[in-house]
Structure 1
Amino acid sequence: MCPVHVKFSAAAAMFASLSLGASLAANAGGFVAPVVDSGVVSPVIETAPVADWAGGYAGLTLGYAFGGDDRVGFHETATGDYLGDVGKLELSGVNAGVRVGYRWQRDRWVFGPELGFEGGNIDDTMSFENTLGGTTEVTSKIKNVLALRMKTGYVVQPDLLVYGVAGVARAKVEYNVAGTDGSGGSMSEDSDFSKTGYILGVGVEKKVTDRMSVTGEYEYASFGKSTRNYVADGGVSTQATPDYHNLKLGLNFKF
């Protein structure tokens, strides 16, 4: 074999070796691991929608008031001397009302004002023996209440709202003192008045349909103190302190 041919064959063999090495190096550096499909699909979690409570509404209420605590004591008007505590008026009775309100909603929070008017037979009468040998009766009756309430609630379920109540109220109160003496005489004096007070409470409301819901509420109403003057027995006065607890059922209609 000639020297030229030997040199050519050696060069060809060397070139083939270099090409094979480069190919192996390229494959080693560019290796990509195969992708294996596990077949597992991540679950999609859906959040339950919050019901729409916003907007105007009107409704009716039916309640029963109880637990009033109006202590009755008399003072002499001329001297201011205290004549003593003669008993307690425990106001109670059925009441009914109408209401209208508007609500705004931020996510699960619902809030807004409500104007209500209630009337009924929230009253009581107590009697005692007087110093003239007869009997004296004191009667107190909440004739009606006009209230502006602020209600703030939280949607615990799409169709269920729980809320708190705080408001200002104006009550018209009928207050009467009547009595007899040992000689057959009698007297009766009215001292009706209107008084502003406050209302606090809690409630729950459940949707029956998109536009109708039922409510259950507990409220406490207090109307402070009001001095009532009478000419009986030379002039006496007492302080009326009407208050009561109230359980109410209601029906609302959304506009």
Structure 2
Amino acid sequence: MKTFTLAFLASLFASTAIAQELTNDNIDPAIPAYASNPHTLGLDTFSWQGAYIGVNGGYATGKFRDQIDASDANTGETAGFSDTVSRSGFLGGVQAGYNWQHERNVYGFELDLQGGSMKKEKAVFDDSINSFKQKNSVDWYSSARSRLGYAVSPTAILYATGGLAYGKVSTGVTASDGTNTESASWKKNTFGYTVGGGTEIAMTDNLTFKTEYLYTDLGNAKTLNFANDNFGTSLRGETRFDFHTIRAGINVKF
């Protein structure tokens, strides 16, 4: 989490510095100080208001927490165990939205769709005879978020964002007792939420660049429902899917 926070702050300050440099490049040293206000140089003609579409890419990481309960059909005994596994991967997707602007205040909404490789398989136990392996993944997710920003310069904004998230998650297990091997998998659509913030700068009248951090929680999904006659064992499981994402994107403004 600290690494993600530092990376986001670094990208935020870098983007703001670029925006300031772009603004300063338009100031002629010969112009008197009283006229060097960007609003007197035509830069205030740029407006954030309007629709936009774009693409993004980034990196996500999180710890998926599994709670698994097992019962033996022959003895009636039950047992439970929990497991936390770090998952990470690259994500990419598309976004579209609309901004309104009132003086320095910029507000609007954004929709996005993300896919990637956030998955991992882990051996919960694996000895010379018995083994039990499981894997979890976020296949894809989308969000519908509001954005509330402030123009720190005519061509740069800082913003907070948050809203609903929806996605498809997967879980699979492979169990073996040295004689029998069985595998099963499950997929589930689940709702959650996402919050974060970012910075966006205008590169041209119609092209902007943004960096963004998001925390996404897709909630708890009952993803295991495993019963097999060969083992005489049934498994029930629940997984918590939440993760952090830092990404960069380009928007084309209309």
| TM-score, length basis structure 1 | 0.76
Residue 172 of structure 1 is matched in structure 2 by 168
Larger Rg: 1
Alpha-carbon distance change, 131 to 191 in structure 1, aligned in 2, over 3 angstroms:
farther
8 Å contact 1:200–1:221 — kept in the other structure? yes
Matched, 1:52 2:60: no
Q: Spell out, residue by residue over 1:70-93, the C-alpha distance to the aligned partner (whole angstroms, 9 max, x if none).
A: 2223213687944222x3222210
8 Å contact 1:90–1:123 — kept in the other structure? no
Q: Which structure's residues are more often strand, by fraction?
A: 2
Residue 84 of structure 1 is matched in structure 2 by 81
8 Å contact 2:65–2:241 — kept in the other structure? no
8 Å contact 1:219–1:246 — kept in the other structure? yes
CA apart distance, 1:242: 0.9
Alpha-carbon distance change, 178 to 208 in structure 1, aligned in 2, over 3 angstroms:
same
8 Å contact 2:162–2:196 — kept in the other structure? yes
Residue 192 of structure 1 is matched in structure 2 by 187
Residue 144 of structure 1 is matched in structure 2 by 140
Alpha-carbon distance change, 171 to 80 in structure 1, aligned in 2, over 3 angstroms:
farther
Match for 1:246: what amino acid?
Answer: T
Q: Spell out, residue by residue over 1:198-235, the C-alpha distance to the aligned partner (whole angstroms, 9 max, x if none).
A: 11111000111011011100111111112231114521
- Where structure 1 has 5 or more consecutive residues not aligned to the other structure, the ranges are 1-42
Matched, 1:231 2:227: yes
RMSD: 2.2
Distance 1:62 1:129 in 2: 35
CA apart distance, 1:132: 9.9
CA apart distance, 1:106: 1.0
| TM-score, length basis structure 2 | 0.76
8 Å contact 1:124–1:139 — kept in the other structure? yes
CA apart distance, 1:191: 1.3
CA apart distance, 1:126: 1.4
Q: Please list, as runs of the form range in 1=range in 2, the aligned pairs for 1:1-255 lying within 5 A after superposition.
A: 48-49=38-39, 50=44, 51-66=46-61, 68-76=62-70, 81-85=78-82, 87-129=83-125, 133-183=129-179, 185-227=180-222, 228-232=224-228, 233=231, 234-255=233-254
Distance 1:76 1:115 in 2: 40
Residue 15 of structure 2 is matched in structure 1 by none
SS of the residue corresponding to residue 238 of structure 1 reads strand
Ranked by relative contact order (alpha carbons within 8 Å, sequence separation 6 or more), the top structure is: 2
Q: Percent identity?
A: 27
Q: Spell out, residue by residue over 1:18-45, the C-alpha distance to the aligned partner (whole angstroms, 9 max, x if none).
A: xxxxxxxxxxxxxxxxxxxxxxxxx967
CA apart distance, 1:179: 2.0
Distance 1:129 1:177 in 2: 12
8 Å contact 1:88–1:126 — kept in the other structure? no
Distance 1:44 1:138 in 2: 67
SS of the residue corresponding to residue 116 of structure 2 reads strand
- Where structure 2 has 5 or more consecutive residues not aligned to the other structure, the ranges are 1-32
Q: Which moved more, 1:44-53 or 1:217-226?
A: 44-53
CA apart distance, 1:130: 6.2
**Number of equivalent positions:** 210
